[in-house]
Amino acid sequence: MRIAVVGSGYVGLVAGACFADLGHEVILVDNDQRKLAALRAGQTPIHEKFLPELLARQRGQLLTFSDDLQGAVRASEAIFIAVGTPPSESGEADLSYVESVAREISGGINGYKVVVEKSTVPVYTSEWVRKIILRNGADPESFDVASNPEFLREGTAVTDFMYPDRIVIGCDTQRCADVLRQIYKPLTEGTYYTRNDAIPQPDRTTIPAPIIVTSTKSAELIKHASNAFLAMKISFINAVASVCESVGANVSQVCHGVGTDSRIGRRFLNPGIGYGGSCFPKDVMAFRAVARENGYDFRLLDEVMSINEDQRQRFLRKVRSALWTLRGKKLGVLGLAFKGGTDDIRESPALFIAQALLQEGCKIKAYDPAAMERTQEVISSGIKYAESAYEAAAGSDALLILTEWEEFANLDLDRLKSELHYPIVIDGRNLYDPEVMASHGFTYYSVGRAATHPDGVPIGALKNGVDKA
Ligand code: NAD
């Protein structure tokens, strides 16, 4: 099929490259000339596994880049809108980018088109997109608006796209559903998975990919409800971790015991410094706002957000309790991205904590495998950057682990200890076993588990996230 994808960010670029790899002819549209030039020059503007390979394979073949939205609409049967939907001051989604794209799409309609919301949008957006396209002169029979929410996770975006838990298509006409079914056929009928050059299948995935067809409004709600539920799961386990700290229980054991219940599941029961990124914070707020607007006061979501805020503050209190005074302390920081596997620092709790510590007068030397360049773009001074985890640790009064990169979970502990000025590790991601850390000579603080000391004696239960000792 001929497809236009508008917006070549984390979602649009991955979706466009994957659609091309499924055999469709794709025009990726963006209004950022620098991004387009980089893409045309063979660069991959985001850090995402398998994306460089897909772009190299399809660039100039089935995948082309353009700033001409109307031209792309004329040439395509389906137009996916994948522009940003950032939060407005009141917490609602700012849909002005979606509106401006819808307005332009109208002028390019020259036959039946399916306009697909790929961006995460509140329920009723499809009705607005339809109204805007009609207001700008399109014939009502010449297009349908569908919702095809995207569930990919940054860091594993290509794999998630090719091996999704489910594909949700929200359509209100059969004609429109047929177009979307056709687009995803290589995944839903499984022909893609028989190819020798298919992206490798990860564990725990079902092939062929299941497809769920719903009304457009239901599909819009599925995305918001999914993200809100996942954020709730994170806040829930963070709240449990706080109780563990108060009573001296071990949250890792609790997670194991709770998560093995198949109704609950082990995934996303990972206590830490809270959720971040460009999706959960804004989507929970937007879902809260759209529910209120439609007469339902979704107070549960207020608590999800509030626990998430607290989690950062609890971690900062933990740093204070481990180091006493902060002014002038040298801290090694591992991780700036909002989670491992990505260079995305939007709403990153790691960055929030690093900035708060800078304001307290700490000196920070940070290392992140992918996010340092982006951090330098937003924080011009204060943070020094290291070439490795060991260099970040060198001479530091303590080491903070703020992002769950795999390489941070596999450090040479003896080397790390010899680099640090004091062997203190404050781990916001629970990457290490407290007893193993103690046996390697570290004073080790983590989330929801008692801090341990090199002599092997737990430092004691933490009261309100603060070490009692
Ligand atoms: P992004 O900011 O990385 O990319 C948006 C792109 O749209 C940018 O390249 C921008 O230049 C382009 N753009 C903006 N206005 C345009 C216009 N008028 N014409 C052409 N291009 C335009 O955003 P993202 O992270 O890819 O997110 C896009 C949407 O997908 C959001 O609604 C987000 O909530 C949703 N989503 C994101 C993720 C994720 O992990 N990032 C996952 C699922 C869903």
pLDDT digits (tens, 9 = 90+) for 388-426: 999 999 999 999 999 999 999 999 999 999 999 999 999
**Beta carbon of 66 within 6 Å of any ligand 1 atom:** no
Ligand 1 pocket, 278 CB below 6 A?
A: yes
For the chain, the distance separating the N- and C-terminal CA atoms, rounded to the nearest angstrom, is 66
- Helix, coil or strand: residue 99: helix
Q: 2-212 sits in which CATH class?
A: alpha beta
Homologous superfamily (CATH) for 310-468 = NAD(P)-binding Rossmann-like Domain (3.40.50.720)
DSSP structure class, residue 31: S
Question: Could you give the 3-state DSSP secondary structure of residue 433?
Answer: coil
Ligand 1 atom at shortest distance from the alpha carbon of 121: 32
**36 Cα: distance to centroid of ligand 1 (angstroms):** 14
CA distance 442 to 435: 9
Q: Tell me which residue of 63, 65, 67, 131 sits closest to 98, measured CA to CA.
A: 131
The domain spans of the chain are 2-212, 223-307, 310-468
State the closest ligand 1 atom to the C-alpha of 8, by its place in the atom list counted from 1: 9
Identify whether the C-beta of residue 331 lies closer than 8 Å to the C-beta of residue 400. yes
Residue 275, token pair as written in the block: 């959720």
Please give the pLDDT value at position 464: 46
Ligand 1 atom closest to the Cα of residue 7 is 7
Per-residue pLDDT of the chain (469 residues; tens, 9 = 90+): 999 999 999 999 999 999 999 999 999 999 999 999 999 999 999 999 999 999 999 999 999 999 999 999 999 999 999 999 999 989 999 999 999 999 999 999 999 999 999 999 999 999 999 999 999 999 999 999 999 999 999 999 999 999 999 999 999 999 999 999 999 999 999 999 999 999 999 998 999 999 999 999 999 999 999 999 999 999 999 999 999 999 999 999 999 999 999 999 999 999 999 999 999 999 999 999 999 999 999 999 999 999 999 999 999 999 999 999 999 999 999 999 999 999 999 999 999 999 999 999 999 999 999 999 999 999 878 899 999 999 999 999 999 999 999 999 999 999 999 999 999 999 999 999 999 999 999 999 999 999 999 976 555 544 444 443 3
* pLDDT number for residue 380: 75
Tell me which of 5, 6, 8, 10 to substitute to probe ligand 1's pocket, judged by most ligand atoms within 8 Å of the beta carbon.
Answer: 10
Rg of the chain over CA atoms, in angstroms? 24
Cβ of residue 101 lying under 6 Å from some atom of ligand 1: yes
The atom of ligand 1 lying closest to the CA of 118 is: 30
CATH fold match for the domains 223-307 and 310-468: no
pLDDT value of residue 468: 39
The tokens of 233 are what?
């799961």
Tell which one of 83, 148, 151 to mutate to probe ligand 1, the residue whose CB is within 8 A of the most ligand atoms.
83
**Cα distance between residue 339 and residue 140, in whole Å:** 43
Q: Specify the pLDDT at position 466.
A: 45
State in Å: Cα 101 to ligand 1 middle. 12
Our answer on whether the CB atom of 31 is closer than 6 Å to any ligand 1 atom is yes
Tokens of 453: 């000391």
Q: Is 456 exposed, middle or buried (0-12, 13-18, 19+ CB in 10 A)?
A: exposed
- Closest of 386, 447, 446 to residue 419, by C-alpha: 386
List 176, 244, 279, 362, catalytic entry: 279
CA distance 247 to 238: 14
Provide the residue count of the chain: 469
* Residue 434 to residue 443: CA distance in whole angstroms: 9
CA of 150 to the centre of ligand 1 (A): 11
**Residue 74 Cα distances to 27, 39, 82, 126, 274, angstroms:** 11, 22, 18, 21, 44
Look at ligand 1, atom 6, and give the residue with the nearest C-alpha: 7
Looking from the CA of residue 67, the nearest atom of ligand 1 is 20
Rounded to 10 degrees, what is the CA torsion of 275, 278, 283, 286? 120
State pLDDT tens for residues 126-144: 999 999 999 999 999 999 9
Entry pTM: 0.94
Per residue in 420-467, pLDDT (tens digit) is: 999 999 999 999 999 999 999 999 999 999 999 997 655 554 444 444
Q: Name beta bridge partners: 173.
A: none
Q: Is the CB of 160 under 6 A from ligand 1?
A: no
Helix axes 125-135, 96-108, angle to 10 degrees: 40
Q: What is the pLDDT of residue 469?
A: 35
Q: Is the CB of 10 under 6 A from ligand 1?
A: yes
For atom 10 of ligand 1, the residue with the nearest CA is 7
Query: Which CATH code is given to the segment(s) 223-307?
Result: 1.10.1040.10
Integer Cα distance of 466 and 245 in angstroms = 9
Instruction: Establish whether 176 is a catalytic residue.
Output: no
Residues 6+ apart with CB under 8 A from 385: 365, 366, 367, 372, 376
User: Which of 28, 387, 15, 451 has the alpha carbon at shortest distance from 250?
Assistant: 451
CA-to-CA distance for 458 and 469, rounded, in angstroms? 10
